[in-house]
Structure formats: C-alpha cells, structure tokens
Amino acid sequence: MPEPTYTLEGWQILHDFRRLNWPLWQEASKEEREMALAEVLALVSEWAGLEREGQGSYGVYQIITQKADLLFLNLRQSLDELLRVEERLNKSRFSRFLLPAYGFYSVVELGSQTGPLDPESPYVKPRLTPRLPASGYVCFYPMNKRRQGEDNWYLLPAKERASLMKAHGETGRKYQGQVLQVISGAQGLDDWEWGVDLFSEDPIQFKKIVYEMRFDEVSARYGEFGPFYVGKRLDEAGLRAFLGLA
C-alpha cells in the first residue's frame, strides 16, 4: 500500500460566495440600505481587528460573471469560529438581500511526500497562517487528484508522487512575487479534495500560471478541476461604490 502524504494543517478557511438580490436592494429605502451596509462594515471591522491580532485573516471581493457577486473569505483557528462568522452574516440586515451562490470549507495544508514537516520552521509556520493581501485580485478553484484506471494518484509510490510534485512546484516558483498561492485540504470536509487560492495584483497572472501548470504531468494526467471564481478585493469605499452608496 502506498504511504499517504505527510501533512500539516493550519488555519481553517470559509469561502462564502453570495449573490445580491439587486431588484430587492434597489427597491429598499436609502436608510435601510445604509443600515444594512453599516452592519456589514461593523463585521468587517471586527475581522480586521482579529487579523491585526494574528488570530485570522479575511477579504471581501467583488466576483465577476453570474456565478456570484460577492465573496466573504475568512481564515480562522477553528471551525467554531467560522460557524460564528457565517451565522453573524446570515443574521445581519444585509443577509435579507443576499442569496447563496457557493461555499467551500477547507484547512490550510502543507504536504510532504518524503517525511514530516517541522511546524516551527520559519519557512513552514507563516504558510500555515497566511495573511491575505490587502489589495488586488483573487482566483479560487477546487480540485481533485484523479482516481481512474491507470491514472490513480493514490496508488502511486511516495517517491513518484514526490518527483511529480517537485516539478509542479518548480513551475509555481517562477511566479514568486507575482502570485501568492494558498492550498487548503478538504478531504472529508467538502465535495472536492483541495481548494486553491491565488492572489495577485494582475489577474492575467492567474491565466499564465494555471495554463503553464497544465503541462506538468501532475496536472495533465492526475488533475481534475472545478469551477473558477475570480474577483477584486473591496475596501470600504469599494464596497460602498459596488452597492451604489458611494
């Protein structure tokens, strides 16, 4: 039996995609819309405070295409904390105008095919508790490793998996400084096995890195990919403008 990958787990992640009911939002009075926005901004302020204290990270994004309008992205130390994040958003005034679009729950993951990682390593520790960029763009997609016939990732020996992932990682390192990547594991937690978040100041870099990685054998032969969600980070002014309250 092939040996499983050694993993370290860090912060837990909630991707909460919502659609905005634009007709209902536009029909609401300006006072009602302002009160709804004020509640959301109060939540975001709390998230920012936790980020400053090193207890999590967050981002609010405007999503392009009709898949969703907004992404509320939160990283916390536990599932219970993420449940409270989701619950408080659901109970806010703003939730009256929101419709569910998609959600994904996962845990920041670092893997090694050759042996355990040191959680206190200066290279490893910050990657388990990443701080999201305060500006720019996000690209999120879920993925699996294929389990079909001869192309079964989970039947490969550990050394072969390590070799394939090393080549894959070398492609990713070409984009260091241009793309920040956060990998999260979701086996037993959601419908896909991993979630991938890419962050960049230039969204074209998402196309470049994903396309180039398609030629790595680990993706070309063993990768299965779900829907892609792309958006722009919103600060308070950006969220106000998006909602027509600037």
Question: pTM for the complete prediction?
Answer: 0.95
Residues shown for the chain = 246
pLDDT of residue 80: 98
- Selecting among 102, 137, 141, 175, the annotated active-site residue is 141
pLDDT of residue 5: 84
pLDDT at 140: 98
Domains in the chain (CATH in brackets) are: 6-242 (3.30.70.1030)
87-95, long-range: CB within 8 Å, 24+ apart, which pairs? 88/43, 89/16, 89/40, 89/43, 92/36, 92/39, 92/40, 92/43, 93/32, 93/35, 93/36, 93/39, 94/36, 94/37, 94/39, 94/40
pLDDT number for residue 131? 97
Dig out the tokens for 94 from the structure.
Answer: 């703003």
Q: Give residue 4's pLDDT.
A: 86
| pLDDT tens readout for residues 94-122 | 999 999 999 999 999 998 877 788 888 88
Q: What is the pLDDT of residues 50-81, one digit of tens each?
A: 999 999 999 999 999 999 999 999 999 999 99
pLDDT at 223 over 80: yes
Predicted local distance difference test score (pLDDT) of residue 116: 82
For residue range 14-60, what is the model confidence (pLDDT) as tens digits? 999 999 999 999 999 999 999 999 999 999 999 999 999 999 999 99
Q: Is 211 a catalytic residue?
A: no
